[in-house]
Amino acid sequence: MRPITFSIEKRSERARVGTISTPHGTLQTPAFVPVATKANVKGILPSTLESLGAQVTLANTYHLYLRPGEQIVKDAGGLNTFMDWKKPTMTDSGGFQVFSLGAAFGKTITKIAKGEENALAQGVSVYDEGVQSQHGQLAIIDEEGVTFTSHLDGSLHRFTPERSIEIQHALGADMFFAFDECTSPTADYEYQRDAMRRTHKWADRSLKAHRRNIDANKKQGIFGIIQGGRHTDLREESAKEIASMDFDGFGIGGSFSKEDMMGAVQAAVRHLPEEKPRHFLGIGEPGDLLLGIEEGMDTFDCVAATRLGRHGTIYTKRGPITLTNEKFRSEYSPLDPECIVPGTEGFTRAYVSHLLRSGEMLGQMIASMHNLGFIIRLVDGAREALLEDRFSEYREEFVRGYYA
RNA sequence: GCGGCUAUGGUGUAACGGUUAACACUACAGAUUGUGGUUCUGUCAAUUCGGGUUCGAUUCCCGGUAGCCGCC
């Protein structure tokens, strides 16, 4: 019996409603996964997280390895005990940091490319770009793994698939990811293909490293990651390859352009087994979550809710608003009159605007809390809608209000 | 009353007899999708007033005004 099991309660075209069982309890899917990079969701207490309806959190291998070190977490009794979070946990493998500290370091590239960057990328070889900017990067990739300098103190480190898995065993999350390379959206086709095939080899090595550890196999499940950028043929190749391996679940990772995201997902999902959970890494914005659900994705993690909140932007049913804008200084209305998040009922836009403008941490906490509550409710609502056969109406109604 | 010093965006500073007077903060706006915790990118905004010298003055000169310091 595997530690991670998945059952589907209902299907609606490609979308599904299910339950993931883990040693720390179950997850009703579709589910949003708050990001707890350094074993905390920035500005949010675990008890608050629970009251917002969070079912699971995702921590990061790279960050916890550097500080405090995986041994500290292990000796604490694992991630759950360390951070006093009793529900299921996940860890990301550190593969994303290969991108964020490598090709994207010190640049404005994000994992979601805009249209123009795309066009720009057509004629540009990322290999050249990489050589040019290698001095400014903290990570260098080779076939065996990644060598990087710590962003904290400049010290030299190396991750291989085996090392990433070893660290993730020490962290002890219920579900964790194979070590992968998240490519830049500005990379050309050849680079995407080569990086994807390298990721496949790393997936195989990650899986073998995990299965060798009998003890960890009783407590933790491993997810393989599909890459391939925005190219549907690469996404298909990647999905077939990763699906053929004995993973407990799958993740769709990497970079896209906004327009091609769902095409890439569809191409991948086609080749994934029905009976295993699918996680959409780093997605997303409200509309993207609903699209992902429609395409058959089960879980989603994203930093947007907390990052936007910290920087003063909150979600509302009528689209995102920037609370630090002058007009909100004297708006004595709820953060979102159409979506009151429990625990924030009494706060007005004017008050939170004041806190954020004053640099008060409570402002960031309230805005993060609101955004997390908003997103979790959105995804939970989608689950209900799927169960009641009204998902498309649910999605359309939301999109009509949010993107009006 | 006399003498000296100072006067540059909202704030604190910079600069020069010569294009669009610089910088930081503030203000205003934008960005953010597996987090490098208060980040990144833009924008608005000033030479105290009146004369004079000069091709040209924020800069040099005279005066007014204001502030600070000293003296009686």
pLDDT tens digits for range A127-141? 223 323 344 678 889
Residues 367-396 of chain A sitting with CB below 7 angstroms of strand B: none
Give kind and range of the element (H or E) at residue A191.
helix A189-211
- pLDDT score of A226 more than 90: yes
Look at residue A115 in the predicted model and tell me its pLDDT: 56
**Cis, bond preceding A337 (omega within 30 deg of 0):** no
Q: Which of A76-80, A134-138, A271-275, A352-356 is predicted least confidently?
A: A134-138
Q: Can you tell me the distance from the alpha carbon of A345 to that of A370, in angstroms, rounded to the nearest whole number? A: 10
Catalytic residues of A: 92, 301
Helices (H) and strands (E) in chain A, counts: 17, 18
- pLDDT score of A120 more than 60: no
User: Using the CA of A280, which nucleotide's C1' is the nearest one?
Assistant: B34
Distance A355 CA to B4 C1' (A): 48
Which of strand B's nucleotides are less than 7 A from any protein C-beta? 27-40
Q: Is strand B in 7 Å reach of the CB of A243?
A: no
Q: Report the percent of chain A where pLDDT is more than 90.
A: 82
Q: For residue range A214-223, what is the model confidence (pLDDT) as tens digits? A: 999 999 999 9
Q: How many C-beta neighbours within 10 Å does residue A40 have?
A: 18
User: Using the CA of A59, which nucleotide's C1' is the nearest one?
Assistant: B34
Residues 272-301 of chain A sitting with CB below 7 angstroms of strand B: 281-285, 288, 301
* Average confidence (pLDDT) over A250-255: 93
Distance A56 CA to B7 C1' (A): 63
Distance A214 CA to B39 C1' (A): 43
In DSSP notation, A2-56 reads: -S-EEEEEEEETTEEEEEEEETTEEEEESEEEEB-TTSS-TT--HHHHHHTT---
Question: Between vectors from CA A387 to CA A173 and to CA A263, what angle results, nearest 5°?
Answer: 70
Q: What is the mean pLDDT of chain A?
A: 92
- pLDDT score of A123 more than 90: no
Q: How many C-beta neighbours within 10 Å does residue A401 have?
A: 13
- pLDDT score of A154 more than 90: no
